[in-house]
Structure 1
Amino acid sequence: MKPRQSSFWRVFGLPMGIGVLCAAGLFSALLGDGLWDAVSWLGLGVPCVLGVRGLLPRR
């Protein structure tokens, strides 16, 4: 018999990655200006784009 593979990373991998990206964006927004602003826009913009993409109807 084959050992059953854990589906933990399959289920929670992408949501955890989005959460880490969002937390990094929030943290970098607190740190300063310049490059930190760009990192915060990226870290908070990607989860927003993914959320809106999930709301759009599929073709």
Structure 2
Amino acid sequence: MRPRQSSFWKVFGMPLGIGLLSAGGLFAALLGDGVWDSLSWVGLGIPAAIAVWALL
């Protein structure tokens, strides 16, 4: 019987998504004020919330 093979996206999909969200939040923080501040809060808050959830 062959062992199950995991695909690239199953292994690295979530970490890649969290990294892209963090990078987008940091980039939005550099762009300006107003709506960009809100986007940066969301882009950096979601990965922080995921980390807190994982620790609990």
Partner in structure 2 of residue 39 of structure 1: 39
Letter of the 1:51 partner, please give it.
Answer: A
3-state SS in 2 of match to 1:33: coil
Q: Percent identity?
A: 66
Partner in structure 2 of residue 20 of structure 1: 20
CA RMSD of superposed structures (Å): 1.4
How many correspondences in the alignment?
Answer: 53
Q: Show structure 1 runs of 4+ deviating over 2 A.
A: none
TM-score normalised per structure 2: 0.89
TM-score normalised per structure 1: 0.84
Partner in structure 2 of residue 9 of structure 1: 9
